[in-house]
Structure 1
């Protein structure tokens, strides 16, 4: 039973779905996530929803980045176990 099923989903609400991310320099993520979970430490190169590309250096494993990322680049990304949350 979901006591919160009548509440609207918003960017500040907990994620309802998740999917693993395979970094790719050309492909966008199939769904624009509300955040990314970083499983294992490393650098993360992202293409943001606003069009910018940014490198987050030394992201610790277990971090949730509250980022609307259109894509995760393979080039420059050394972190693994990335999961999109929406």
Structure 2
């Protein structure tokens, strides 16, 4: 996979970012990328969980909106703690 990244004709910053992702190194840019991915997944899963748990009581749309807003409240801090732990291991 590293040979593929080396042959890409892209900017050096993008190439370094791809190397960091492939090798598992956590830098500022790759950490922000993984934090964005965690926020995206927690938003989607919070909306799905809100619809499943409270869809009939609150209405499916309101339950999805509330789940999507409150889902990252639990997912993002855990992702930050996990990235910090992985950085120092």
Comparing both structures, which one devotes a greater share of its residues to strand?
A: 1
Report the TM-score range of the alignment, normalised by the length of the smaller protein: under 0.3
Instruction: Name the structure where helix makes up a greater proportion of residues.
Output: 2
Query: Does 1 or 2 have the higher relative contact order (CA < 8 Å, sep 6+)?
Result: 1
So what's the TM-score if we normalise by structure 2? 0.24
